[in-house]
Amino acid sequence: MQLSSSEIRELIPNRQPIFFMDGVQDIQTDRSICALKNVAADEWFVDGYLPGQYVMPATLIIETLAQAASIFILKSPMFQNKTAYLGGIPKAEFLKSVHAGDQLTLKVNLKKQRQNVGLVTCVALVEDQPAVEAELMFIVEPNDH
């Protein structure tokens, strides 16, 4: 299943300036997701983080992985019409810089889940090379509205 940026906005509450998803290439329900983020030179964070180097901050790559994980979680029949929250980052490794012009391929796999809490393994790739690897804990709750 593929999703456009506008379809993603219907699932997760993130909006500009902290909406980082450009699309979803594939979702395997309750197993994995592959999503995309195109890093552009005109994004507010690219030149402000390390002026002149046009680098995406590693913390925002983690946020991008968390958004991909939220999409994956909320596409599960068990969690439709709910909200997913980042509950923790048990592990994160920053392996290479991500620059303007790069495309991040975001791969998220379900590691374990118990009721409304779970753990996913994530990798952000640039040209098939890992830039960030992480484990993210999530918590799913009913929508507030």
Which CATH number covers residue 55?
3.10.129.10
Predicted confidence band of residue 143 (pLDDT cuts 50, 70, 90): confident
Prediction pTM value? 0.94
Nearest to 62 by CA among 139, 141, 135: 135
Structurally, the chain folds into a number of domains equal to 1
* Position 5 confidence tier, pLDDT thresholds 50, 70, 90: confident
User: Which range marks the domain in which residue 111 is found?
Assistant: 3-142
Question: Phi/psi at 129 (nearest 5 deg)?
Answer: -110, 130
Is there a contact between 4 and 23 (Cβ–Cβ < 8 Å)? yes
